[in-house]
Amino acid sequence: MNISDLLCDLYDVRRMAEFEGFGNLPKDNDGTETTIFDCLDNCITQLIECLIEWNLELEEQRTK
């Protein structure tokens, strides 16, 4: 899994959502207030946190 590629794709989708104006639409038709932007931002944030954690673990292994 390449987290950097995933992040690039999510940022591209987010830019298009902004450009095309669909980012503020609800994420589904179930009456949710959660928007497409909310979902994209959550995915981006979680992937960044995973990348940071992974890098910290790698650094810890190198220092042993």
> pLDDT digits over 1-60, tens only?
688 899 999 999 999 999 999 999 999 999 999 999 999 999 999 999 999 999 999 999
If one counts every other C-beta atom within 10 angstroms of the C-beta of residue 53, the result is: 10
What integer pLDDT is reported at residue 1 of this predicted model? 67
pTM of the full structure: 0.84
Q: Residue 2, class by beta-carbon neighbours within 10 Å (0-12 exposed, 13-18 middle, 19+ buried)?
A: exposed
* pLDDT tens digits along 30-44: 999 999 999 999 999
